[in-house]
Amino acid sequence: MKKTLLLGVLATSLAASQAFAIIASDDASNYNGSGEPAWASNGANGGTGFGGWGFAVTAGSGAAGTFIGDPSAAGISGMSSNSWGFYANPIGSGANIDASRGFSQALQDGETFSFQWGLNYDSFNASSNRGFNLKSGGSQLLNINMGDSATIKINGSNMFTNYGSQAFVLNFQQVSETSIRVYGTGRNGSESYDNTFTGLAGRADNFQFYFNATESGVDQRQMYFNNLSIVPEPATLGLLGMGVVLIMFRLARRRA
């Protein structure tokens, strides 16, 4: 009886600590359904811990916009069939789409912002780019960019150099007021990256995805992302979990 009760307490404690662990979260499945916000609308917010989305669309002589769709149409594996995507085409049209969003509060020491990214083919043109900016207010802290080659660069230096079609997760941990650790595994499933950037302009508090005009009719050149989250540092999470377990165990002893 007591053993069963203890197992129940531990299971409940684990679930509770996991729930408390999330500072912010959002994913594409929170949009475009019945009673849900339309993702392409400025101010749309289906998550928690983030501000509303903001969009800047330039069609030029072509077309540009956003959608929620299945990355497998672009040959990308490991992502939800409901993921955020971009289109802008054709090459040379001047078409461009930016999607920006703020955090409810700037990252604190040890907190990690993460997202899942889907990239397959390159941009096919030297003047066409797709990527991500992490910012502090209006100051750019980190830029991750892919142009017309396999190489993905961060602040101008190589991050990953191989093609691949697997979705991958990038993590940005605020180490101090002016330093951020960036780590993750590349889209070929084996390349890894782990580096801490110092001397930055402040704490991360907003981000931007961008996508320039690329070749028309080639789904593999589209960009997708999903699963935004901010979590506390592991030490904080561990203490939280231990605290929840202790509280639940004491309650269980009283009921026994």
Residue 3, sorted as left (phi over 0), alpha (psi -120 to 50) or beta, turns out to be alpha
Q: How many residues does the chain have?
A: 256
- Is the alpha carbon torsion for 136, 88, 26, 131 positive or negative? negative
| Nearest residue to 231 (alpha-carbon basis) of 14, 21, 18, 17 | 21
Residue 234: predicted pLDDT? 79
Tell me the two tokens of residue 125.
């043109």
Residue 252: predicted pLDDT? 53
SS3 168: strand
CATH number of 24-231: 2.60.120
Helix and strand counts by DSSP (H, E) for the chain: 2, 15
Residue 255: predicted pLDDT? 56
Residue 101: predicted pLDDT? 98
Residue 139: predicted pLDDT? 98
Q: Give the start-end residues of each E strand in 147-231.
A: 152-154, 157-160, 168-176, 179-185, 192-197, 206-212, 224-231
Of all helices (H) and strands (E), which one includes residue 240?
Answer: helix 234-255
Residues 6+ apart with CB under 8 A from 242: none
Residue 168, sorted as left (phi over 0), alpha (psi -120 to 50) or beta, turns out to be beta
Residue 12: predicted pLDDT? 47
How far apart CA 70 and CA 222 sit, in angstroms, is: 11
pTM of the model: 0.86
Q: In degrees to the nearest 10, what's the CA dihedral of 206, 212, 218, 221?
A: -50
How far apart CA 77 and CA 70 sit, in angstroms, is: 10
Mean pLDDT (10-residue bins), the chain, 256 residues: 48 47 95 94 97 98 97 98 97 97 98 98 96 98 98 98 98 98 97 98 98 96 98 65 50 55
Rounded to 10 deg, the angle between the 234-255 and 2-21 helix axes is: 150
